[in-house]
């Protein structure tokens, strides 16, 4: 595919981009205690510029010192040198770079010392998602905040950035003014749509006045907040039409969702259950009403999808953010016709937005080099090539094999079963999770590119290690389900979740899923059985189902199983069973929870490491490294990261 539209240049305001691929503003948490972009931030964005992106929009930066303690502080001149370094690094690769101007308004949550801040908003309101109550802004506050937008934009211009983007999406302060449910003012800033647009118009005018016409000024807006009580999409479209025709903006960037409600927040970083490219129609509606270019993002992770949107005239620039988190070389690979080499994002959300919400630097479970560019961007060739035997073809083993081979070692990977993938093969079989199997496809392709020899149906033992004359062994033998050792278990119909997923268990009509892990297994099996017609109770040994998952993935999934009629029992530890009863224990008070007339109990109780090979090699003279679940049962993220580290160290 030639990607005629995707790789055509486009002029936006005073800048021309080399192609139509851009990275949207997204929180990386790659900054220090001073809240200024650091060397990791520079390396991260430079990797995507070097990888061929036409534009990078850096993350939301606080325009006001009293707002946004968990984001970059662009409210003082101290940010200028930091932004200048990232601008120079990105621009040297013929990639443009913008800064993003943000004020959270009512969704401001806390201060640096952990106390609750004072959220400013058009009116006093409640933020349902964060459970904070704002104060109504005064006219003096308006003047101060509007000036802060202009001052911050000017700092970004002085730093050498090519443009700025006003964040008016996902319930940030300007979006709060647009919503009549949130903006109940009786003065000239409330009431009619024209009045509710006044604040945003004044922000745009101030920014344009401060930076002139020498750099690009754009705006990001949610075409539909997709949440209860959100702004009417028809009014948002009218607002876009008005602002896009008034001359202050060089482009409109259309997204969806909102941060005020849990339902809208799912669309901030939509999980894999959400359709690909689902926001293109929103962008198209805006494009039909404005003369300026229109950008769009939202689950667009392949260049073929991007090309189709451009070809259909739905948008002019395509945000492919997680796609470039998973593969910073995406643009170059697409341009060069190497689409099979693109590592496709699987929208698991675990190490990108999931890391941000934990307050740690961004990464990717498939590509742990992301966010760690300074450490792993260059794979140093092995000084002395060796024979490396990898035992286990799950994500840990595949990554270790690919990286070791990339460095010049002779690598043989052996997998005892007939398929590569390990537990990822289970994950992809659950409803709405087929895309997770992409990690297997991607890692297998990495091994192929670097010449790994793969032997399926081959179990490694010490005799084989010695026969192969291996110099080093990476043990990635994984784990097996933790057995259900409970009173009365021999009377009950007990099956483990793996058997259910693989279709190896006969499950009755009334089922309890005993979920100790509180992750994707319990939720997925409950959904699968409910869709199969079973009456399902999901009993979780924690606060909620999916407690260990990234919240947008979890929240969407909980909503799905609720619609399917799954009963959820939290704080419930599996205690015992008999032929028709499941006995649970409340984990905080020890009281019994008894579920009767049960046909089947499905257990997801964690995993036990498989260490037979590692034990057999304890006195073997070669180098042995254990990685993934055989070292300690965790998630795919740790497995792939340990595979990377092993491949680099061997």
Residue 70: per-residue pLDDT: 79
Task: Tell me which residues of the chain have a pLDDT lower than 50.
Answer: none
- 361 Cβ neighbours under 8 A, 6+ residues apart: 28, 29, 30, 40, 355, 371
71-94 residue pLDDT tens? 999 999 999 999 999 999 999 999
pLDDT of residue 66: 63
Structural domains of the chain ordered from first start: 10-374 (3.20.20.70), 383-480+609-649 (3.40.50.720), 494-605 (3.50.50.60)
Are 218 and 250 a contacting pair, CB within 8 Å? yes
Residues 6+ apart with CB under 8 A from 240: 221, 223, 252, 254, 286, 289, 290
Q: Is the CB of residue 266 less than 8 Å from the CB of residue 170? A: no
> What's the rounded Cα separation, in Å, for the pair 553 and 350?
9
User: How far is the C-alpha of 540 from the C-alpha of 331, rounded, in Å?
Assistant: 43
What 3-state class would DSSP assign to 575?
Answer: strand
Q: Is 603:497 a contact under the CB 8 Å cutoff? A: yes
Burial of 579 (0-12, 13-18, 19+ CB in 10 A): exposed
Residue 268 has a CB neighbour count (10 Å cut-off) of: 18
- Looking at residue 116, its pLDDT comes to 83
> φ, ψ for residue 237 (rounded to 5)?
-60, -40
User: Which phi and psi angles does 204 have, rounded to 5°?
Assistant: -60, -45
- Provide the 8-state DSSP code for 31: B
Q: How far apart are CA 585 and CA 591, in angstroms?
A: 6
Number of residues assigned to the chain:
650
Q: What number of other Cβ atoms are within 10 A of residue 610's Cβ?
A: 19
What pTM value is reported for the model?
0.96
| pLDDT number for residue 111 | 74
Summarize pLDDT for 128-179 with one digit per residue, the tens. 888 889 999 998 899 999 999 999 999 999 999 999 999 999 999 999 999 9
Task: Name the 3-class secondary structure at 514.
Answer: strand
Residue 476 near residue 435 (C-beta atoms within 8 A): no
Helices and strands counted in the chain (H then E): 23, 30
CA separation for the pair 539, 531 (Å, rounded)? 18
Rounded Cα gap, residues 99 and 267, in angstroms: 22
């Amino acid at each position: 595919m030639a990607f005629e539209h995707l790789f055509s240049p486009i002029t936006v305001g005073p800048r021309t981009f080399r192609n139509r691929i851009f990275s949207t503003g997204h929180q990386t948490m790659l900054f220090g205690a001073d809240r200024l972009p650091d060397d990791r931030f520079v390396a991260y964005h430079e990797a995507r510029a070097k990888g061929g992106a036409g534009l990078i929009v850096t993350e939301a930066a606080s325009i006001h010192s009293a707002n946004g303690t968990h984001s970059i502080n662009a409210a003082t001149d101290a940010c200028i040198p930091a932004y200048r370094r990232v601008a120079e690094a990105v621009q040297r690769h013929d990639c443009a770079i913008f800064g993003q101007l943000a004020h959270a308004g009512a969704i401001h949550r806390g201060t640096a010392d952990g106390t609750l801040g004072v959220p400013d908003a058009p009116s006093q309101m409640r933020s349902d998602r964060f459970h904070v109550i704002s104060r109504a802004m005064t006219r003096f506050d308006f003047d101060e905040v509007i000036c802060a937008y202009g001052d911050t934009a000017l700092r970004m211009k002085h730093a050498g950035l090519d443009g700025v983007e006003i964040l008016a999406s996902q319930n940030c302060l300007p979006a709060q003014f647009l919503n009549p449910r949130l903006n109940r003012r009786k003065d000239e800033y409330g009431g009619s749509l024209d009045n509710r647009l006044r604040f945003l118009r004044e922000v745009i005018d101030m920014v344009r006045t401060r930076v002139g016409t020498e750099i690009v000024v754009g705006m990001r807006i949610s075409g539909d907040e997709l949440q209860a009580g959100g702004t009417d999409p028809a009014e948002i479209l009218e607002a876009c039409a008005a602002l896009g025709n008034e001359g202050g903006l060089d482009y409109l960037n259309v997204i969806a969702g909102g941060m005020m409600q849990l339902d809208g927040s799912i669309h901030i970083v939509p999980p894999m259950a959400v359709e690909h490219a689902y926001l293109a129609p929103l962008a198209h509606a805006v494009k039909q009403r404005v003369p300026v270019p229109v950008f769009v993002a939202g689950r667009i992770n392949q260049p073929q999808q991007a090309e189709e949107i451009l070809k259909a005239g739905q948008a002019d620039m395509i945000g492919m953010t997680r796609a470039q988190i998973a593969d910073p070389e995406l643009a170059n690979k697409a341009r060069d016709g190497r689409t099979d080499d693109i590592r496709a994002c699987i929208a698991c959300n675990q190490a990108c937005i999931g890391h941000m919400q934990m307050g740690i630097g961004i990464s990717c479970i498939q590509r742990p080099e992301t966010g760690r560019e300074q450490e792993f961007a260059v794979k140093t060739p092995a000084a002395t090539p060796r024979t490396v035997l990898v035992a286990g073809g799950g994500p840990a083993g595949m990554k270790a094999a690919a990286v070791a081979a990339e460095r010049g070692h002779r690598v043989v990977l052996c997998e005892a079963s007939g398929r590569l993938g390990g537990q990822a093969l289970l994950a992809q079989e659950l409803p709405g999770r087929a895309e997770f199997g992409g990690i297997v496809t991607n890692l297998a392709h990495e091994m192929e590119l670097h010449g790994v020899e793969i032997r399926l149906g081959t179990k490694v033992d010490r005799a084989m290690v010695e026969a192969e004359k291996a110099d080093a062994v990476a043990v990635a033998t994984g784990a097996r389900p933790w057995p259900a050792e409970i009173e009365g278990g021999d009377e009950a119909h007990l099956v483990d979740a793996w058997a259910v997923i693989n279709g190896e268990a006969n499950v009755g009509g009334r089922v309890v899923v005993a979920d100790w892990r509180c992750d994707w297994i319990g939720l997925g099996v409950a959904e699968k059985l409910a869709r199969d017609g079973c009456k399902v109770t999901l009993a979780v040994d924690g606060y909620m189902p999916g407690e260990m998952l990234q919240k947008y993935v979890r929240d969407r999934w909980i909503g799905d199983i609720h619609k399917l009629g799954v009963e959820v029992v939290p704080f419930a530890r599996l205690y015992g069973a008999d032929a028709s009863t499941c006995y649970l224990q409340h984990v905080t008070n020890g009281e019994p929870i008894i579920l009767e007339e049960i046909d089947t109990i499905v257990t997801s109780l964690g995993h036990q490491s498989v260490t037979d090979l590692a034990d057999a090699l304890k006195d073997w003279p070669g180098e042995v490294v254990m990685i993934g679940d055989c070292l300690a049962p965790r998630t795919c993220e740790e497995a792939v990261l340990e595979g990377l580290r092993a491949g680099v160290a061997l």
